[in-house]
Amino acid sequence: MRATAVAALVALALGVGVQASTAAPKASCPGAWAKGWQRLADKINAPVYCPTWMPNPLDAQIGGQYQDIYSIGKDRSYLVGFLEHGDLGSGDVHVNFRGYPGRTTIPTCPAPVGKSTVPCFADPAGKVVENGIRATVYQVNQGADQWHILLAWRYNGSLYSVSQHVIVPYDSVTRVRANLKHLLKSLVLVRPQD
Amino acid sequence: MRLTRRHFLGGAAAAAVAGGGIYELVDKLGSSPKRPVAEPAGMPPEQHVFDLSTVRSEGVDVLVPPLHSEVVTATLAAPDLPKAQTQLEDVLRELDARYPLTPAGLGVTVAWGLPYFDRFVGEQAKTHLPFDRRAGKPVLLPNRRFPSDPSSTLLESNDMVVLLRSDHVEHIDEARTAIFALPFLTVTSIRHGFAGGGFEGGLGLPKKMGVAAGVPGADLIPDGAELFLGFTSTQKAGLGPGKIANHETLGYVDLRSGYFHGGTHMHLSHINEDLEAWYLNFDFDERLLTAFRPGMKNVRVNAQTIPQGPAQVSPVALLESQFEKTGRFGHSASIQATSRLLQDTVGADGTAYPKGTAIPQRADFNTLDNPFMFSSDPKRDGMSKEPSAGVHFVVFNPTGDDFERNRLAMDGVLPGGKTLSVPPRNRAQGFNSVLTTTHRQNFLVPPRRHRSFPLAEL
C-alpha cells in the first residue's frame, strides 16, 4: 500500500499521469501528416514509417513548409527530408527518413575521394531499442545524411533509416542521439492501401 | 545550447576550476600515471630530453606523456643581459633542485627565438649560431607558412619560450610563477593542455575534458584515446630516441664554435582540430588511412595504437604508388618520407640508429585553449572564451630545415621536389582537412649550460 502511494507520488512528481499504466491508445500518423505518408506508402507499395514527433520546430508534413527533399528511386527506395534553415544564425534542424523496400543491405555511395564506393552508413556505434524497433546507430554517413547521426533497422525484408544533422541548435551527438531515440519511439507504420 | 567557458565556470564545476581554470579538471578527471620515483643521477646536458615511462598499448610500446604541459612565450624588456642571465639561471637552478627531472617532478625547457638573437646578441650570433650544412641555411630559420596553412596563420616573434611538463599542475604553476616574476620578461601568451590519462583504462583525458567543456564532437572521441583524434601518438618507435634530435647527432649541422652542442631546434604551433568533421565524416577505415596510409590490412576496427616501428615505415615508392592508385596519402606515411632514417646511422656519440628510426621528438599536447589560455594581445591572437579542441604542437628536430622537410611532406611535398598533387586542406591529404594552424614560431633550444640568455656572456 505504502509502495503504491510512493509510486503515485513519484509519478506525479515526474509529471506522469497516474493512469499511465493503463494501455495507451495506439498512436497513429498525425492527421495533417497522414495523407502524405499514406500516399508515399501507396506509391512505393511498401510500408513507410511516419513520425508522430519531430524535433522543434519541424513537422513531418510531406508537402508542408519544412519539407526539403522528396525523392523516390526507380527501385522504390525513398528519401524524405525536413529542414528548417536558420538564416539568422539560429542553425539548421534537418531530419531525413529513408526506406529501401525489398532490400536489407546497406547501400553504397560514391567515396569522398577517388572512384570507389563506400557504405552509405558506417561506423556503427551501438544499438537503440524503442517501439519494438532495434536500430543500429551509424556515425559516419554519406549523401544527404552526411554530418548526420543515423539510425537504421530492418523490417519485413526492407531497410529503413532516420537521421538528424549534428549542427546548432542540436550541436552535440548526445543531443541528436536523444532526438533520434525519441523519433524512433514515435514512429508508426503506415501500410499501403489495397 | 553548448556550454560556453563562462557557463562552464559558473556551473557545478566552478569550485574545481576556480584557480587554474578548466585544466585543474585534469587532476579531478585523471589520475597520475605510475612513475619511477628515482631521480636521475644528474641533469642531462640537453634541455629537451625528458625520459618518459613505457607501457604496452595494444601490443605496442608507448611512452606515457606528462598529464600537463604548458608553453609560455615572452618578450624581453631591454634587460641588463649579464644580470638577467644570472637571475634567470638562478631561478632555473632552484627549480632543478626542487623537482626531479621526471613527469612526476618537472621538465623545464627554455628556448629562444630569432628576435632574441637578432636584437640582443646579434654580433655573437653571427659567429656561434649553428649552420645546417645539409640545407645550406642557418639552423634557426625565419618562420614561414606551409601550403596547407591558411593565410590567417600568424607568424609570431617572441623572444623566448618556456615549455613546462609535469603530471602535477601545481609544479607547472610554481615554475611559471617563479620564472615570469623576473622583471625583464613580459609574458605574451600562456598555452596549457593535457594528454593521455587513459592507458590504465577509462575514458582518457581528451574525451573527459572535451565533453566537460562541451566541445563539439568530443562525445565521439573513443574511450581511452590519448589524444582528441583517437590514435596513440606517443608510441616509442614513432618518437626520436635519446639524443637523435640534437644538432650534432646526425651530422647535419656545422656547430661552428660548439657553443650549441647538445642543443636542438624547436617548432611551436597551435592547431585547431575539427573533431566533428573528423568523427562524423571519416569512418574508422578512412580515419585509419588518413592518419597512417591507404591499404593497411589486418587492423582491428577501432584500434587506437597502430604499430609504427621501422618495419612499418612507408617507403617513398609505396607512398607514390598508393597515391597513384587511390588519389590520397596518409599523414604518417607522407611524413615518414623525411622523418625516418633512410639508412643505418651512427650518431656523433657512437649510438647506432637503425634504418627507419624516427628523428623528431614530439612533445605535443591537446588543449581547450582558443587559441591560448592567455594572450597579451587578445585581438591579434583571436582569443575566444569558448573552449576549442586543438593541439599545441611542440617538436624538436636537429634543424629548422629538418622540421620544414617533415611539414612539407605532410602536405605532399616530398624530398627531391616531387609533389603528390592534392589541393591544400583536401580530404585526400592526410589530416589537413580537419586541422587549421593558427600560430607558428621557430626557436633554438640551447644546451642546459647555456639555457639562460645564450651568448649574452660573450
pLDDT tens per residue across all 458 residues of chain B: 332 322 322 233 233 333 456 776 776 676 666 654 443 347 999 999 998 989 999 999 999 999 999 999 999 987 899 999 999 999 999 999 999 999 999 999 999 999 999 999 999 999 999 999 999 999 999 999 999 999 999 999 999 999 999 999 999 999 999 999 999 999 999 999 999 877 777 888 999 999 999 999 999 999 999 999 999 999 999 999 999 999 999 999 999 999 999 999 999 999 999 999 999 999 999 999 999 999 888 899 999 999 998 888 888 889 999 999 999 999 999 999 999 999 999 999 999 999 999 999 999 999 999 999 999 999 999 999 999 999 999 999 999 999 999 999 999 999 888 899 999 889 998 889 999 999 999 999 999 999 999 999 99
Q: Which residue has the cell 657512437?
A: B350
Tally Cβ neighbours within 10 Å of residue B354. 11
CB pairs under 8 A between A and B: 53
Q: Is the ipTM here above 0.95?
A: no
Mutate to test the interface with A, among B276, B280, B388 (most CBs of A within 10 A): B280
- Nearest Cα of chain B lies from the Cα of A119 at a distance, in angstroms, of 10
Among partner residues A122, A148, A172, which is closest to B219 by beta-carbon distance? A172
Which residue from B1, B283, B328 is facing A113, i.e. has the nearest CB?
B328
* Residue B283 with chain A: CB contacts under 8 Å: 118-119, 122-123, 139-140
H or E element, residue B95:
helix B81-98
Candidate from B281, B282, B328 with C-beta closest to A114: B328
Q: Where are the alpha helices (DSSP H) in B99-204?
A: 114-119, 122-128, 169-179
**Alpha helices, H only, A23-172:** 31-44
* Cβ distance of B219 and A174 shorter than 8 Å: yes
With an 8 Å Cβ cutoff, is B220 touching chain A? yes
Taking the CA of residue B215 and the nearest CA in chain A, the distance in Å comes to 8
Burial of B78 (0-12, 13-18, 19+ CB in 10 A): exposed
E strand or H helix at B2 = none
B residues 54-113 lying closer than 8 A (beta carbon) to A? none
Contact: B279, A122; criterion CB under 8 Å: no
Alpha-carbon gap, residue A83 to A93, rounded angstroms: 6
* B158 vs B372: CA distance, rounded Å: 15
Surface-to-core class of residue B226, CB atoms within 10 Å of its CB (0-12 exposed, 13-18 middle, 19+ buried): buried
Distance CA A43, CA A77 (A): 11
Rounded distance between C-alpha atoms, residue B377 and residue B439, angstroms: 13
* C-alpha A63 chain-centroid distance: 17
**Mutation to test the A interface, candidates B283, B286, B323, B432, most A Cβ within 10 Å:** B283
Do residues A153 and A99 touch, judged by C-beta distance below 8 A?
Answer: no
Helices (H) and strands (E) in chain B, counts: 14, 18
Question: How close A136 gets to chain B, by Cα (Å)?
Answer: 15
- Could you tell me the CA-to-CA distances from B38 to B43, B64, B68, B390, B431 in Å, in that order? 13, 17, 20, 34, 39
For residue B137, the surrounding DSSP H or E stretch is: strand B137-138
